[in-house]
Amino acid sequence: MPRSLTASAPGKLILAGEHAVVYGRPALVAAVDLRLSATIVERPERRPRTVRLDVPGVGVVEEVAWARVRDHARSARERWEAWARGSGAASFAAVRGGDPSHVVKVALGEAARFLGDDKPPSLDLAIRSELPLGSGFGSSAAAAVAVVAAYLALRGAAPSSADLESVAREVERRQHGLPSGVDAATVLHGGVLWAERGGDGCLAVEPFPGRSPLLADLAVFDTGTPLEGTGAVVAAVRDRFAREPGRLAAAWDAIEAATRALRALLEETAPAAGPAPSAIPRDAARRRLGELIRACQAGLEELGVVPAPVRELVRRIEAEGGAAKVSGAGALSGHGAGSLIVLHPQPERIGEWGFLGRLARYPVSLGGPGLRIESGAAVRPRPAEVRR
């Protein structure tokens, strides 16, 4: 019987701190209970060595030589390195390329490179996902973590969490340019995480031990797929920062202040060890949460990553007494900016707003589990620590 293995990873939503975290500011991020799975079946009898890809979410069913997979990953690495030095193509889109299975091929190639695996076996690789694409749910990070973890486990490796995070971060760079690393860390570890760069410049993540009931009050809608990919939006913000450093630094200051206040609010409203209720009444806590959501959204609008139709939608929500913010990179133009987190002091009111009826709503639960090896050679990351 051929060996097989399935690894799955969750999606994520950034509660506060997107974009600012790229520049050393903190972020609050939560894994969601929508997941992506990568199933690998080893086919040693198949010669020459190939990979059969089945990725229905992007319309890919193909068989490709392993040599081409490794060449794809190597070429993407070289393009990214040139782009990061400022000597490559002007647009990050040229680094990303147009292959719809780009993330999966890069993940396989980088995993083989990590192992020094110059003779990888023939494989069947199937991706199944509950995550919407291009909507701020971290689908590429989930694919990177799941594919890398599944391949390393199938090959008998026992990588540390830091190893998995490092390889997945390289995959994310080929997809998004200069990501913060928050997405990969969140889908790997799960839960609700506080992410912040330390004095050494490395991203440190810290789990929240409790779960504030305020998280259950947040509704999540999809405003539509952004016209630009995350890498292009991140690059545009970087270019704008070079032109207007003072203005963007002020926006990041405001986002950081709101992010830190949100952390304090979630900690204060999390259930204590005993039955004692929170010191903050639920209604007052919701109103404070709404203020912080509005502050984060204002900062994102100042960065220029919320297109006009989404800004108008947020204004309508605010006119109804609610609050809303984009979660994720956002967009530079067009009608959609991906995920939108929505809150009202009376959460049931949200379902009464007809102007949200055209948007898909995702009934997600925040703070779900991270990476799981679900079948086959059950090799899990060692140890299951959160990287500091």
Each residue of 31-48: pLDDT tens digit?
999 999 999 999 988 889
Question: What does the pLDDT read at residue 379?
Answer: 36
* Separation between Cα atoms, residue 124 and residue 103, nearest integer Å: 16
Query: In this predicted model, what pLDDT tens digit does every residue of 322-370 receive, in sequence order?
Result: 999 999 889 999 999 999 999 999 999 999 999 998 899 998 899 989 9
Which residues of the chain form CATH 3.30.70.890? 213-362
From first to last of the 388 residues of the chain, give the pLDDT tens digit. 568 899 999 999 999 999 988 888 999 999 999 999 999 999 988 889 999 999 998 999 999 999 999 999 999 999 999 888 875 445 777 778 889 999 999 999 999 999 999 889 999 999 999 998 878 899 999 999 999 999 999 998 888 999 999 999 999 999 988 888 899 999 999 999 999 887 777 788 898 877 899 999 999 999 999 988 887 888 889 889 999 999 999 999 999 999 999 999 999 998 764 445 566 888 899 999 999 999 999 999 999 999 999 999 999 999 999 999 999 889 999 999 999 999 999 999 999 999 998 899 998 899 989 999 987 643 333 333 333 3
Residues of each domain in the chain carrying CATH 3.30.230.10: 4-211+367-376
4-211+367-376 architecture in CATH?
A: 2-Layer Sandwich (3.30)
b/e sequence 237-256, b meaning 16+ C-beta within 10 Å: bbeebeeeeeebeebbebbb
Cβ proximity of 175 and 138 under 8 Å = no
| CATH (one of 3.30.70.890, 3.40.470.10, 3.40.1190.20, 3.90.1150.10) for 213-362 | 3.30.70.890
At residue 276, the pLDDT reads 52
Non-local CB neighbours of 384 within 8 Å, separated by 6+ positions:
161
CB 300 within 8 A of CB 18: yes
